[in-house]
Structure 1
Amino acid sequence: MDYKLIVADMDGTLLGSDHEVTEENKKALKEALDKGIYVTVATGRMYSSAKSHISFLNSTIPIIACNGALIKDSITNKIIYSNYIDREKSLKILRILEKYKVYYQYYSEDLLMCKKIDKDNKNLIKIKKLMSSGVDLVFLSDLTEHIINNDILKVIVVEDENLSILEKITKELNKIEGLEITKSWFNNIEIMATGSDKGNAVKKLAEHLDIDKDNIIAFGDNYNDISMLEFAGIGVAMGNADEFVKSRADYITLKNSEDGVAKALYELTCLKAIND
C-alpha cells in the first residue's frame, strides 16, 4: 500500500516508557518524511505538549490534540478545527465531579486547569514532569471561574484508589446530551463534545490534505484510539494495547517500549530499518 499519512497516538504508542519518542521511532518517522509521507500525532494531550514532543520532525502537518477536539496548524498555529464543550455542560460536569471528590483536569487551547485536593499533591509533580514546557497550568481548589472564562476542549478524570467511582461518574455523565466519553487508561475518563474523537479528526485532516483514507496508517494503544484505527486504511495496535483494542485493529506490533511504531512501519511500508 502506498501510504501518504502516518498518524500516531503518543502516550503508550509513539512515546517509550520514559515518555519521550524512542530513537528508533524518530529514525523511522524522519525517513517517512524524507520519502514524502506526511507524519503527525493524534493525542489526548494539549497542542503545545504534542508539538514539543515532535519538534524533531520539523513537520508542517497539523497536529490533532485533545482527543480530536482540536486540529491546529503546526507552523502558523492556526486552528483548522475545534469542538468545544459548551459552558453549561462544562459546569454540569463540574458538579458531578465535585460530588464524587475526584481529581480532574479541564483543558482549554492554552491552559490546563487542575483540581487541587489534599490527597493528590503528587499530581502537580507528575503533571509538570509529563507535560512539556510551554503548557500553562493552574492548580486550584475551585476551577469554576476559569471554566466559565475559557473554551473547554476536554475534561479528564483520574481515580487510582476506587475504580468503581469512575463507573458511577460515567453513568451520570451519560445523562448529559452532547458529550463524547472515552478513556485512555484504566483509571480515567475523558470527556469531550460529541463529534470529538480521533477518527473524526483524522477524517477532517485527510480531507484538509486531500488524502484518501486507504492511504493512511494509524497507531494506537487504548480505547480513545479505536475510532482512528478503524477509520484508517490500516490500524495498528501496540503490543501493550488492551485486548479489545487489539481486536479492532488490522495489525498488532510490538510494545511502545520496544519501538513498535518503527517495527510496523518497516514491515508495512516502503521504509527500511537503518541496520538492514
Structure 2
Amino acid sequence: MNFKILCSDLDGTLLTTKSDVSNTTISEIARIRKKIKVILVSARMPSGMHYLQKRLGIEDQPIICYNGALVLDGKKELLSVYIPLHTVRQIYEICKEFKTDIGLYENDHWQVTRSSERVEKEIKYTRTYPSFVPAEMTLAYLEKNKIGAHKLMLMGTKESSDELMPVLRQQFGTALHVYRSNDTLIEVAPKSVSKLTAIQQLLTKEETLRDIIAFGDNYNDMDMLTHVACGVAVGNAREEVKHIADHVTLKNTQDGVAHFIREHLLI
C-alpha cells in the first residue's frame, strides 16, 4: 500500500490508553513520517493534541481540531468555523431549563462554570485545563470579541440528556452537529465542517483523497473513512463504522493502528 498522507483520530483509535500513545505506535510513526505526512484529526482542543504531536515527532504537520472546525499549522490558523454567538446563547438558555452544565471551547480556550466528574475526566485524559467562569461572563467575552464557539460540551444526567437531545436536534439540527458522546454528554459543533472537509482543505494540488489512509472508531470518523483511499476501523469501533471501513485492525488497546502500519505500509 502506497499513500502520501495518514490521518488518524485520537481517542479510541491512535491512543492506546485514555491519554497517551504507546511506544509501539511512536516507533511505527517514526518509521514512516519522513515519507508519509501524519495528521492528527480529533474533537479535542489544540493543547490536547500538541503533546501527542510532540510524542510522535510530527510537530511540523498541521492538526485538525474540534472535528474540523479549527485547523492549525503551528500557530497559523488555516480554518476556523464558529457556532454563531446567538446560537450559543439560545443553547445556554435551553441548558438552564434542563439543569445541564455547558462547557465552551474557542480556539485553545475551554471555559466551564464549575468542576464536575466529567470535567475532571476531561482534564485527566486530554491534559488540558479549563477556566472556571460564569457562563454570562464567557458570553460577554465572545460578544466583545465578535466570535462564537468552536464546540459546546453539554454535561447533564442520563435523564436530562435523554430529554435534551431531541429538543436540540429539532431546533438546531439543520445548522449544527448534535451528537451523544456518552449517556451524560452531548457535543455540539458547526454542521458545515467535518473531519473530511478539513482534510480536503489541507490537500495540495498534487494530492487527492485517493492518496490518504485514515483510521477511526466513531460516527464522526465515517465520512473520512468512506471517502479516502483506505479507511481502517479499529477493532473497538462501532459496528456501523466497521461496516463502512475497507479494513478492520486490532483494538486501540492492542495498538491496532501501529499493527496495521507495520503490516501494510512497507517503506
Aligned to 1:20: 20
CA distance in 2, matches of 1:186, 1:241: 17
Aligned to 1:85: 83
Q: CA deviation at 1:183?
A: 4.2
Pick from 112, 115, 132 the counterpart of residue 114 of structure 1: 112
Contact 2:50/2:59, CA 8 A, preserved across alignment: no
Map residues 202-217 of structure 1 onto 2, 5 A cutoff: 202-206=199-203, 208=204, 210-217=206-213
Secondary structure of 1:104's match? strand
Aligned to 2:145: none
Secondary structure of 1:46's match? coil
CA distance in 2, matches of 1:229, 1:211: 17
What is the number of residues matched between the two proteins? 259
The sequence identity of aligned pairs, in percent, is: 29
Aligned to 2:103: 105
2:261 matched to 1:261?
Answer: no
Gaps of 5+ in 1: 272-276
Taking structure 1 as reference, are residues 98 and 129 closer, same or farther at Cα in structure 2, changes over 3 Å only?
Answer: same
Q: CA deviation at 1:202?
A: 1.4
Map residues 135-154 of structure 1 onto 2, 5 A cutoff: 135=128, 137-140=130-133, 142-150=134-142, 151-154=148-151
CA distance in 2, matches of 1:268, 1:2: 9
CA distance in 2, matches of 1:270, 1:234: 15
CA distance in 2, matches of 1:62, 1:209: 17
Contact 1:91/1:144, CA 8 A, preserved across alignment: no
Contact 1:16/1:22, CA 8 A, preserved across alignment: yes
Gaps of 5+ in 2: 143-147
Contact 1:85/1:193, CA 8 A, preserved across alignment: yes
Q: CA deviation at 1:245?
A: 1.6
Aligned to 1:38: 37
Aligned to 1:67: 67
CA deviation digits over 1:190-234, x for unaligned, max 9?
21112121111112122x474210110111111111121112111
CA distance in 1, matches of 2:183, 2:167: 18
CA distance in 1, matches of 2:95, 2:182: 18
CA distance in 2, matches of 1:158, 1:248: 30
Aligned to 2:163: 168
CA distance in 2, matches of 1:268, 1:96: 49
Contact 2:38/2:58, CA 8 A, preserved across alignment: no
Q: Indicate the larger mover: 85-94 or 98-107.
A: 98-107
CA distance in 2, matches of 1:230, 1:145: 41
Contact 1:114/1:139, CA 8 A, preserved across alignment: yes
Secondary structure of 1:235's match? strand
Map residues 215-230 of structure 1 onto 2, 5 A cutoff: 215-230=211-226
The Cα RMSD (Å) is 2.0
Secondary structure of 2:231's match? strand
Aligned to 1:129: 124
Paired amino acid for 2:256: G
The TM-score, its normalising length taken from structure 2, stands at: 0.89
Taking structure 1 as reference, are residues 165 and 123 closer, same or farther at Cα in structure 2, changes over 3 Å only?
Answer: closer
Secondary structure of 1:54's match? helix
Aligned to 1:157: 154
CA distance in 1, matches of 2:161, 2:92: 14
2:175 matched to 1:178?
Answer: yes
Moved over 4 A (4+): 183-187
Q: CA deviation at 1:115?
A: 3.5
